[in-house]
Structure 1
Amino acid sequence: MKICPAEPHDVAKLLAFREEAAAWLSQLGTDQWQRPYPADKLLATIESGHVFMLQDGHMTAATITLTPDAEEGLWTEDELREPCMFVNKLTVGREYGGQNIGGRLLDWAGDRAHRAGAKWLRLDAWTANEALQRYYLAQGFTHVRTVSEGTAVNGGPRVSGWLAQREARPSVHDFHDLTPAPARLPFAA
């Protein structure tokens, strides 16, 4: 399998991929990702070079967003002074479930973050999805805190405020990495 940057023409494919994941999550009894993701926001993230796709031949096996940009209102100013990168929208195709693709993508992200000079690989997860939280804990993340104040775009409570982190570190993920070298973070040592 190869990992490569997503391109603007991948927007429709990635939105469909997310819809598939939302349907699966709904079957599991969670409301995570039930609101459609804005195509223009996804396109902007792709154009910034932060969205990556794991390809198995012509099939998309998974996708991950890895960015130096924190979602507003989640992390403290002191935490944001530490060099870190953030994982978002990790999604594995259902036909690839149970193969540790997500764990290997997290290892790839931690390795890439380390090469960028990050100390931490951080994420925020759906506050009500306890199974997802247990998954991240099993992947070596430590729960930092849960942020419930603040509001979501639609005026409701924050739904993705379970914060976790693990050290960014070199890792073997066994993917053929076709991504460009990561840019060094501003606070990197």
Structure 2
Amino acid sequence: MMTIEAGTVFMLRDGQVTAATITLTPDAEEGLWTEDELREPSMFVNKLTVARTHAGRNLGGRLLDWAGDRAHRASAKWLRLDAWTTNARLQDYYLSQGFVHVRTVLEGDAVNGGPRVSGWLAQRAAQPAEHGFTDQTPAPTRLGFLPQ
């Protein structure tokens, strides 16, 4: 499903300027998470981007807090993500934001059919957060999940 049409792309606006974007979806990329992990209600972060003009203001960290808060309100247990396996700086950033490395997946193909490069998996608990944003988005839909 396309993320824009699905309503899973969110923009952080600073006046008329888009300062940052994040995709937050209940859909995991195929081949990354185990069946047991997928039984746990989770939301997945993709494509977190902060405009260079707005760098250095902790917008990425605050957006991750917003995403964790939204995931919590959707009844998710986890906020999960995958990052490039070769980008140690990005991995360190996510670790500094409270994520815990779960494992690295190297086998399989990416969603675009190319080789998998984004298989460094991490998660943190979905929980309420004071992110400081004025949230004008509709309330999240509560997740349905498989019984344990």
TM-score over 0.5 for the pair? yes
Q: How does 1:65-104 map to 2 (within 5 A)?
A: 65-104=23-62
Which one-letter code corresponds to 2:70 in the other structure? Answer: R
> Counterpart in 1 of 2:86?
128
**Of 148, 152, 158, the match for 2:116:** 158
1:43-93 Cα offsets, whole Å, 9 max, x none, are x21111100000000000000000000000000000000000000000000
Where 2:23 maps in the other structure, the secondary structure is strand
Contact 2:99/2:122 (<8 A) preserved: yes
1:52 maps to a residue whose letter is F
CA distance in 2, matches of 1:137, 1:82: 21
> Would you tell me which structure has more helix in proportion to its own residues?
1
* Correspondence for 1:113 among 71, 79, 88: 71
Identity value in percent: 77
TM-score for both structures, normalised by structure 2: 0.95
Gaps spanning 5+ residues in structure 1: where?
A: 1-40
Q: Post-superposition shift, 1:188?
A: 8.7
AA of the residue aligned to 1:187: F
Structure 1 consecutive aligned stretches of length 4 or more whose deviation exceeds 2 Å = 152-157
1:50 to 8, 16, 23: 8
CA distance in 2, matches of 1:63, 1:155: 25
Instruction: Pick the structure with greater CA Rg.
Output: 1
Q: CA deviation at 1:157?
A: 2.6
**Aligned residue pairs: how many?**
147
Provide, for residues 83-136 of structure 1, a one-character-per-residue CA deviation record: whole Å limited to 9, x for no partner: 000000000000111110000000000000000000000000011110000000
C-alpha contact 1:126 1:162 (8 A) present in aligned 2: yes
Distance in 1 between residues matched to 2:58 and 2:146, nearest whole Å = 30
